[in-house]
Amino acid sequence: MIACLRLFSALCLAALLAACASSPSSSLGELPRTPNASIEQLLEQAASSKTPEQAAMLRLSAADLAYHQKDSGRAAQILAQVPLNTLKPAQQVYASTLAAELAMTRNQPKAALTALSHPSLERLGELPVDLQVRTQTVRARALEADGQTLAAARERIFIAPLLSGDAARNNHEAIWALIAALPTDQLQPTGNDDLSGWLSLARAVKSSGTLEQQQAAIDTWRAQNPKHPAAQQLPLALVKLKELASQPLSKIALLLPQDGPLASVGKALREGFMAAHYQAQQAGQKPPAIEFYDSSRIGSLDDFYRKAQASGVQLVIGPLEKPLVKQLSARPQLPITTLALNYSESAQNPAQLFQFGLAAEDEAREVARRARADGLHRAAVMVPKGEWGDRVLKAFRQNWETNGGTVVGIERVDQPVALAQQIAELFQLRQSEGRAKSLQSTVGGQVAAQPSRRQDIEFIFLAATPQQAQQIKPTLNFQYAGDVPVYATSHVFSATGDQNQYNDMNGIRFCETPWLLDANDPLRRQVTAQWPQAGGALGRLYAMGVDAYRLAPRLGQLKALPDSRIDGLSGSLSMDAAQRVERQLPWAQFVSGQVQRLPDTPR
């Protein structure tokens, strides 16, 4: 009886191993396959295996099965029991691929790429196609998550001929999403291969301004590259562009307040908007007709939309008032596509609602981006007390820490008289003074000691008014922290040309709208000649009005082409997944009482 059981167990083990393995070649070794057994059965067989190779194969199968059952923690525990260096090359590739997939479940792209750098991967081309696809797919995902967009696209282009059906279609769309996300200066074709074709297609689309120009560019590209995969199967985003081009925008409703506390803001937005409209007319374009509505006198949004629909309006720009934007965001759908000029707090919005504004949160994220690009990692933060400061701090901190930065100190600014104490506490100067006094007490005499500040603060993120910044920067100098870089939002810049004020903020770097940093822009010169106030802080609203006009016919483009941008006068404009327009801004610095533009950094 015992002999029969042993024979049965041996036959089961042989069957499991046969089900778990295939043989690419004798030198590469066998590959695990999905077995007809549970994880527990595989681990039991591994524990009783007669050879380490059989045990490793069974554990690889068990780890892979756990991964496909979405039990990543258990998969990682099992895989850790497999000695990688004792495996044959095919098994090493398999284990490295699984390790990379598990790293990606933990959002660790660098760890995934490290796993895929094992020497055995040099022989990937000798292995079965399904493993090649699996390995290169996870490599593409890791490269994308690591910010290596072009390399990720190259990886997906390489495996495209190996795919079919839904996998091929999904990979095709992923290639375009990656290529479309590249900045224009990286869209440089270098030959006649598929990658160069993709790059030239994206360059043609991005360098064309209007929908009609983009459609013509796509048609020309397809005629020149008839055998390219994108010519034979146009990416869905570009198909949508073609649909948009067939629906020109002919009438816009401009919904802004003409009375009440926001009347001056509405007036600046309206004047900027119409300046862009007249510029388009002067350039020989056929701009849409504009109808004006007073949002401060609206009794019912439903009545407004009924009137607008009856008048043939295709797009509403506005409202500005946050309560009205909140009402719109709460609706399941809107009768007319709407570009609100403010942001709701809701995460769920109707598909017809787009949102655009001068959000301080955008500038906080811009500070985080610039500081990262400048190689900085540890930040201290100074923001005003109150709800506005809390929002700015939250936006900065979320972006900064998500991307690997550290916030080492926070001070909320309120009363000017407390500034010196707050900055001393931020830089731990009082502790330094205390150590000096303790040393004097110990040695029994006077000790020459200059207070020393903490050294782990690499820069300060500052969100403050010009008046606050005028006090903060000199106080930093006085408190032995004058050499710490200060990165600020545009709120420190009054745009008054006051050299004394600028001198007090010497060295502060700040982001600002192109409108206020480029006095030679032709449209800005026209507008400020008619409305001089547009050259000061109100200019940001004029710039927003101009950009609202320029966004109107291109909302569909930004939605259809993820990560594409419009170079506006309020910033470089893009759209996130929630259809909120985001701004990235150029930079300047106060230098000897003047505003000096800083070089742009790669995005």
* % helix, strand, coil for the chain, step of 5: 55, 15, 30
pLDDT in tens, 487-510: 999 999 999 989 999 999 999 999
15 or 112: whose pLDDT is higher?
Answer: 112
DSSP letter assigned to residue 487: E
Report pLDDT digits (tens) over 39-76. Answer: 899 999 889 988 888 899 899 999 999 999 999 999 99
Backbone φ, ψ for residue 225 (5° rounding): -130, 60
Residue range 191-222, pLDDT digits in tens: 889 999 999 999 888 877 677 788 889 999 99
Q: How confident is the model at residue 415 (pLDDT cuts 50, 70, 90)?
A: low
Q: What is the DSSP letter of 599?
A: P
d(CA 368, CA 389): 16
- Helix pair 211-224, 236-245: axis angle to 10 deg: 130
Q: Where along the chain do its domains lie?
A: 17-147, 251-355, 361-512+589-597
Ranges 43-47, 283-287, 360-364: which has the least confidence: 283-287
259: pLDDT strictly greater than 50: yes
Which of 6-20, 23-37, 300-314, 342-356 is predicted least confidently?
6-20
Is pLDDT at 79 greater than 60 in this prediction?
yes
* pLDDT at residue number 53: 86
Specify the pLDDT at position 441: 46
Q: Minimal CA–CA distance to 571: which of 358, 388, 360, 371?
A: 358
- Express each pLDDT in 469-484 by its tens digit: 888 888 887 666 668 8
Mean pLDDT, the chain, whole residue set: 86
Domain 361-512+589-597 in this protein, CATH class: alpha beta
Same fold? 251-355, 361-512+589-597: yes
> Does 513 score more than 90 pLDDT?
yes
Give 603's pLDDT tier (boundaries 50, 70, 90): low
Digit-coded pLDDT (tens) for 433-454: 444 344 344 434 443 444 555 5
Look at residues 574, 106, 101 and name the one whose alpha carbon lies nearest to residue 354.
Answer: 574
Nearest Cα neighbor of 312 from 354, 249, 242 is 249
Q: Is 415 helix (H, G, I), strand (E, B) or coil?
A: coil
Q: Are strands 353-355 and 378-384 parallel, antiparallel or unpaired?
A: unpaired
pLDDT in tens, 296-332: 998 899 999 999 999 999 999 999 999 999 999 999 9
Q: Superfamily assignment of 251-355 in CATH?
A: Response regulator (3.40.50.2300)
pLDDT of residue 188: 86
What is the spatial distance between Cα 476 and Cα 506, in angstroms, rounded to a whole number? Answer: 11
Nearest C-alpha neighbor of 384 from the set 411, 343, 359, 412 = 412
Give the model's confidence band at 602: pLDDT under 50 very low, under 70 low, under 90 confident, else very high: low
| β-bridge pairing 315-317 and 251-256 | parallel
- Place 536 in a pLDDT band, splitting at 50, 70 and 90: very high
Confidence check: pLDDT of 173 > 80:
yes
List, in order, residues 6 or more apart from 431 with CB less than 8 Å away. Answer: none
What pTM, to 2 d.p., does this model score?
A: 0.68
Summarize the confidence of residues 559-574 as an average pLDDT. Answer: 82
Q: What is the DSSP letter of 538?
A: T
Give the pLDDT score at 516.
Answer: 95
pLDDT band at 21 (very low <50, low <70, confident <90, very high): very low
d(CA 215, CA 211): 6
Beta strands 29-32 and 21-25: pairing type? Answer: antiparallel
Architecture of the domain whose range is 17-147: Alpha Horseshoe (1.25)
Average pLDDT over residues 343-368: 91
Pairing of strands 566-567, 572-575: antiparallel
- Cβ atoms of 241 and 560 within 8 Å: the answer is yes
What integer is the mean pLDDT of 217-246?
A: 89
What tokens does 327 get?
């009402």
Share of the chain above pLDDT 90, in %: 61
Residue-level pLDDT at 239: 87
